Structure 1
Amino acid sequence: MRDDLLDPRGVLLHESAGSREEAIRRCGRALVDVGAVAEPYIEAMLERERSISTYVGEGVAIPHGTAASKEDVKRDAICVVRFPDGVDWDGDQVTVCVGIAAKNDGHVPLLAALAEILLDPDRARTLREATEVHQVTKELTS
């Protein structure tokens, strides 16, 4: 995965959320805070979740906006938000959200790279259990 996609300020490892919606809002806020998206993108992430779950297994969800929200994306980016106590994701437990912002088809290589990591149980565990930002950036950019 390209190094410039993950701003270390977008790696939040000690968050908590009382609901899936709250967790998605936290991811969206992280993308806003690193300058990757405009504020309306957060609502688009929630809209996407209402149409189809972004849970992908291994305790990981990949919230992202709708096709219509691409105009709110300033640059391709990801954020990693860890919820050590977990979040109920419609019956599944999510401990890591990888928020994605992508213009055009920029999300396709991002999703492919994430899938590769999540298909490797050791790498997925590293993401779920990371307590230091450098652990996450190393895993996602190596």
Structure 2
Amino acid sequence: MEVQKNLIRLNQNFETKEEAIEFCGELLVSGGHVTAEYVPAMIQRNKDLSVYMGNFIAIPHGTDDAKKEVLKTGIAIVQVPRGVNFGTDNNPKVATVLFGIAGVGNEHLDLIQKISIFCADVDNVVKLADAQTVDEVAGYFAE
């Protein structure tokens, strides 16, 4: 899984899950991975089915209809130390690491699988959440 350092952001803070998803989407747009039309589809995807995956991670990505907006496969990694709630006030689901993804064809399934395997170990999520540099985050995925 190739991680581009220009798509990693540390110490971010968001009031809402929509704001967090939009930020991930804008990183993918600025990196040339998707068109701007992909971003609203990421928000819609979360409305249709939560992108919260457990273990303090969320994987925002677009709807199937938005596949045509994907220019090349990419992944944005966003650290949110205070967390952002992908659940409700009564049933919070707090994510401290966000993986905004876009995949050509079915490559997004491969990305989700690799992220899920890495983050199944909560210690790995803690490492990402505590990382102090972009190089440190990128290094966890270079191994």
Same fold per TM (> 0.5)?
yes
Match of 1:38 in 2: 35
Letter in 1 for 2:128: L
8 Å Cα contact 1:12-1:80 kept in structure 2? yes
Match of 2:133 in 1: 132
Identity between Structure 1 and Structure 2 (%) = 32
8 Å Cα contact 1:81-1:97 kept in structure 2? yes
Cα separation, 2, equivalents of 1:108 and 1:94: 20
Q: Secondary structure at the match of 1:9?
A: helix
8 Å Cα contact 1:54-1:62 kept in structure 2? yes
8 Å Cα contact 2:24-2:100 kept in structure 1? yes
Match of 2:52 among 55, 79, 94: 55
Match of 2:14 in 1: 17
Residue 14 of structure 1 deviates from its aligned partner by: 1.6
Residue 80 of structure 1 deviates from its aligned partner by: 0.3
Match of 2:26 in 1: 29
Residue 141 of structure 1 deviates from its aligned partner by: 2.6
Task: Show CA shifts across 1:70-112 (max 9, x none).
Answer: 1111100000011111111111111111000011100111111
Indicate the RMSD between aligned Cα atoms, in angstroms.
1.0
Match of 1:67 in 2: 64
Residue correspondences, number: 139
8 Å Cα contact 1:7-1:34 kept in structure 2? no
Q: Secondary structure at the match of 1:116?
A: helix
Letter in 2 for 1:72: E
Cα separation, 2, equivalents of 1:42 and 1:129: 27
Cα separation, 2, equivalents of 1:128 and 1:52: 24
TM-score by length of 1: 0.94
Cα separation, 2, equivalents of 1:34 and 1:48: 21
Detail structure 1 runs of 4+ shifted over 3 Å in the superposition: none
Letter in 2 for 1:36: H
8 Å Cα contact 2:97-2:125 kept in structure 1? no
Unpaired runs of at least 5, structure 2? none
Of Structure 1 and Structure 2, which has the larger fraction of its residues in strand?
1
Unpaired runs of at least 5, structure 1? none
